[in-house]
Amino acid sequence: MTVSSVRALVVDDSATIRTFVKNALEHQGFEVTEAKSGFEALKILPKERFNLIVTDVNMPDINGLELVKYVRKEEAHRGTPLVIISTDGRERDRDRGMQLGATAYLVKPFKAEDLVALVRRVLEKGVNVAPQMVQPAPKRG
């Protein structure tokens, strides 16, 4: 699969984060569709196929963990790599997301390079990649 053929769905209620993730992925040649909520993602998913889903956890209607459960139950999306992005880096939260079927977990804030590197690893290895958790590098100052 070439990068230009990768279709990604980015789900986050924050327009700022959606734009940041979309720009980072589009800069690498990905085709990106945005959903501003878990509910909106559930309306898009039956109509389109994606090679990657990136979702926030904390959203007002259907949260990212519920979205992960849905994606893993649906035959059409069962094998789609799914990256959770969240401000919550606690081990229990990460473990919960991974148990539900997330492919990787990235803690906010993160750099575009961190996201792109993680997404490339996920796409190279597929849905069965060993659980990944990337924490932001400590600030130097």
Q: Which pLDDT does position 130 carry in this prediction?
A: 38
Query: What pLDDT does 44 receive?
Result: 96
Residue 89's alpha-carbon distances to 86, 107, 126, in angstroms, are 7, 6, 23
The reply to whether omega before 138 is within 30° of 0 (cis) is no
- Encode the chain (141 residues) as per-residue pLDDT tens digits: 455 579 999 999 999 999 999 999 999 999 999 999 999 999 999 999 999 999 999 998 899 999 999 999 988 888 899 999 988 777 777 888 889 999 999 988 899 999 999 999 999 876 444 344 444 444 444
Give the domains, in start order, of the chain with CATH numbers.
3-134 (3.40.50.2300)
The pLDDT value recorded for residue 4 is 56
Q: What is the pTM of this model?
A: 0.85
SS3 of residue 138 by DSSP? coil
In angstroms, rounded to a whole number, what is the distance separating the alpha carbons of residues 43 and 36?
A: 11
Q: What are phi and psi of 90, to 5 degrees?
A: -65, 145
What pLDDT, on a 0 to 100 scale, did the predictor assign at position 139?
46
